[in-house]
Amino acid sequence: MTTLAPDIGTDTLVAHVQRLVECESPSTDAVALARSADEVATLGEELLGVAPERITLDGTPHLRWRFGARTRVLLLAHHDTVWPLGSLERLPFRVEDGVMRGPGCFDMKAGLVMALHAVASLDDRDGVTILVTGDEELGSPSSRGLIQDTARGAHGALVLEASADGGALKLERKGTALYEVVVAGRAAHAGLEPEKGVNATVELAHEVLAVAALADPARGTSATPTAAGSGSTTNTVPASARVAVDVRARTLAELDRVDAAIRALRPVTPGAQLEILGGINRPPLEATASAALFDRAQRLARELGLEPLTGAAVGGASDGNFTAGIGVPTLDGLGAVGGAAHADDEHVLVAELAPRTLLLARLVADLASGGTP
């Protein structure tokens, strides 16, 4: 497999990112997601010459282009964003002094455009698959199985999430687990007979401290109680309470340790009851899953005369965690160079778009034709 001439034009890349950014696609808006899927499908068909397979799961639209009978290399992207409808009115798409801005440009509509252009530049696409999901920002509840099924047996998965600081590729990602600890108590009048109640807030305080104690910073493991609530009125002993828990860990063993400990929580307050909801969401992307692909990308960058590639370990998770979790070599952070994902200053460095797209094209070609890394 070879690539066509490195004539992936920056102006065209910018124009296509603008098309997708200006088609807003919040993860929780089914109508907006459907409109976004249509726009991505249209752009992809223009570039690739074929329409994608449309896959709707639990009402969420996903798109897949498969070339050939077997997937040897998978490009992973998503078209949903965290930005609500109307964000463009406050933060319009614009390019100033070589910096692109607009909601979702960095995470990750630029990376999605790069994937389409990279594959379009190949004169032989056999073995290449592009999967564009629509619920990554929610934790990929409907697309997880689709991602794993599509990736299974591939030589490698290339994830078009934005790069880390300074353009570094993401060589490690922490795994995630999400829980809700629910407390059932018993209501009573807080002034007349509080002793007849079972205070769910007091029990929740015990559980919050127990969960927080499961963190192990030396191992890179966090266990963070987040959104919490309890009670109904100011003069009633709370009958119910709940807290969400966000867990991050570098290894599956650490995720399993915290998972077992959370499920082993027992009430401290007499009469209180606990229910544990949720569990492990994404396995970690460990360094062993990305090392060989990173070496290959570094070699290709040298051959292309690009700046040396760097790598980073990051706390956030992506769909690359799923592919790494089933044993597929995975390299993440191949998308846009810039910063401030999910923030008003989200931005992309325009000068990096074309070189990174060319590198991606060469990596796809090399991986699809060269066997396992």
**List of domains in the chain:** 10-173+284-370 (3.40.630.10), 175-282 (3.30.70.360)
- Cα Rg of the chain, angstroms: 23
pLDDT band at 315 (very low <50, low <70, confident <90, very high): confident
Task: Give this prediction's pTM.
Answer: 0.87
Percentage of the chain lying above the pLDDT 70 cut: 97
Query: Nearest Cα to 319, choosing from 285, 288, 346, 289?
Result: 285
pLDDT at 372 over 70: no
pLDDT for the residue 89: 97
pLDDT for the residue 97: 97
pLDDT for the residue 254: 96
pLDDT for the residue 8: 72
pLDDT for the residue 317: 87
Q: Which residues of 179-218 are buried (b: 16+ CB within 10 A; e: fewer)?
A: bebbbbbbbbebeeeeeebbbbbbbbbbbbebbeebbeee
The CA distance from 121 to 354, in Å, is 12
**Cis, peptide link before residue 108, omega less than 30° from 0:** yes
Query: Nearest Cα to 313, choosing from 222, 220, 246?
Result: 220
* Average pLDDT value for the chain: 95
pLDDT for the residue 2: 41
Note the pLDDT tens digit of each residue in 154-213.
999 999 999 999 999 999 999 999 999 999 999 999 999 999 999 999 999 999 999 999
